[in-house]
Amino acid sequence: MVKILFFVTAGFLISVSSYAKELTVTVNGMVCSFCAQGIQKKLTAQAAVKAVDVNLNNHLVKVDLKDGQDLSDPTITQILTEAGYSVSKIERN
């Protein structure tokens, strides 16, 4: 019984942790506040997104995801392309 409980709990924890909580996206062409605003607006409109933080100095966009939610790399790339920019790297934390 203890073993079963252990495996169920471990399985649950592994499945939850398999979702990245935060994505860090390196964006090309993001040089001004209008760019940042457009990117923030587009990403914030996604149901899976809790918060977006844009860092113009490092060309980085940090996307905080809701619990149990995810955004695939192709989806992120598409969103940023529609905002007018290109993605050079996506990291999952």
Helix (H, G, I), strand (E, B) or coil at 40: helix
- Pick one of 15, 75, 78, 86: the residue that binds another protein (CB under 8 A): 86
Between 73-82 and 33-44, two packed helices, what is the crossing angle to 10 degrees?
Answer: 130
- Least Å distance, CB 56 to another protein, is 5
- Pick one of 12, 31, 44, 72: the residue that binds another protein (CB under 8 A): 31
- Pick one of 15, 16, 29, 78: the residue that binds another protein (CB under 8 A): 29
Give the range of 2-10, 13-21, 55-63, 67-75 binding another protein by CB under 8 A. Answer: 55-63
Instruction: Phi first, then psi: give them for residue 82, nearest 5 degrees.
Output: -65, -25
Side by side, which strands form the sheet with 60-65?
A: 49-55, 60-65, 22-28, 86-92
The residue ranges that bind another protein (CB under 8 A) are 28-42, 54-57, 59, 81-86, 88
